[in-house]
Structure 1
């Protein structure tokens, strides 16, 4: 059962440490599944492109899926796509979850394999698109990234399904907030939507409808341009139930 409208959940979270496995899916991943309206055993495609399709992390995700009761498939692009029909595979999913890493590399590799059109087709068909960090920024026009080196820079060639900028890890990396303000103020980024660690933003189509959080005391933010300055508005997230 697809979501009733194109839906994106863009996050700075989704994982938590586990006692028996390396990690478990936290409330944000579970919320992506809830948004999909999946019945029975949800089908979740995991893409680790941004970190080079690390096979050991794929295994951690499969274990987390087993604990959560999800049917996990990993769509790898190194050394070649792991399925014959990438677009068809995505359309069969309830949720697409994109991992963090280098968003610049992710966008380059996705472009080679035409994943931008495949992802758009899945999104328009009601497959929930979601992810963390690079897996959040990719859905927007751009954002801030360390893809190019230790000093954060702008990336401006995102898929732009969402016509905004995106700021991730807004509370945990000191340079994120001032750089977002600088890039919005000088027009490099459009209005930019930001998340503290553990927070996600829900969009129906291109409309931001809600901020949600798997941690207490966290926030979401909208940064807009006012003349030559940036103005920040805090959005209080709804606290999700721990899975």
Structure 2
């Protein structure tokens, strides 16, 4: 089931410790399904672990979490070759595409090898909910901050740009993220930048930010804009999602 307009949920969360599994899907992933409008059947969710090197153990853990959640779930691998014959056709049949964290620079490079930029745009325009965490959040934007290149955070500016903003993830848990976002916005490296504390997601309909949501109490979202030669930050209070 496709939404009636392009939808993205960009997050710094989505997981919690499991009871019978290593982890379970938290409220943000369930909210992505809710945004898709899938009802009366098992929601179709495809997971891309590209940013972490398509590690099969992660796919197995995600399968376990999906079983607990009751999802019709697929792992889309690109190493050593794509495990699906028709990637675009498969993605167009999904309710949600969830992209995991890791190296956003590596993710974007591999997606380009497989010419997936136009595929994701068509899937987004068709109303499949695009979502993800960390690298799987930044990828939908023009760029953001990343440790893909080493311990020192750097800018990445070659995102898919479905959303014409910058993106700052893990804004409260990694102390170097906020000052770098401010510097990159102030000097024009990044455009207006939308940021999330851990456990927070941003909902977009088309390219419009319509809501911030959270699976944790006391967390925030932020919009960082440029005024002259400095960055100005505005906090957005997210709506607390119910625990699923």
* Cα distance in 2 between the residues matched to 1:117 and 1:88: 13
Counterpart residue number, 2:47: 46
How far apart are residue 188 of structure 1 and its match?
A: 0.2
How far apart are residue 114 of structure 1 and its match?
A: 1.2
* Cα distance in 1 between the residues matched to 2:23 and 2:116: 27
TM-score, normalised via structure 1 length: 0.99
TM-score, normalised via structure 2 length: 0.99
How far apart are residue 117 of structure 1 and its match?
A: 1.1
**1:136-147 matches, cutoff 5 A:** 136-147=137-148
* Cα distance in 1 between the residues matched to 2:33 and 2:210: 17
1:233 counterpart = 2:234:
yes
Unaligned runs of 5+ in 2: none
**1:144-183 matches, cutoff 5 A:** 144-183=145-184
Counterpart residue number, 2:57: 56
Counterpart residue number, 1:97: 98
* Cα distance in 2 between the residues matched to 1:117 and 1:61: 26
Matched residue of 2:158: which SS? coil
Counterpart residue number, 1:14: 14
Q: How many residues align?
A: 243
Counterpart residue number, 2:76: 75
How far apart are residue 232 of structure 1 and its match?
A: 0.1
* Cα distance in 2 between the residues matched to 1:63 and 1:203: 29
How far apart are residue 110 of structure 1 and its match?
A: 0.2
Unaligned runs of 5+ in 1: none
Comparing 197-206 and 116-125, the one that deviates more: 116-125
How far apart are residue 163 of structure 1 and its match?
A: 0.2
Matched residue of 1:41: which SS? coil
Please list every run of at least 4 consecutive aligned residues from structure 1 whose deviation after the TM superposition is greater than 2 angstroms.
none
Counterpart residue number, 2:188: 187
**What do you get for the CA RMSD once the two structures are aligned?**
0.4
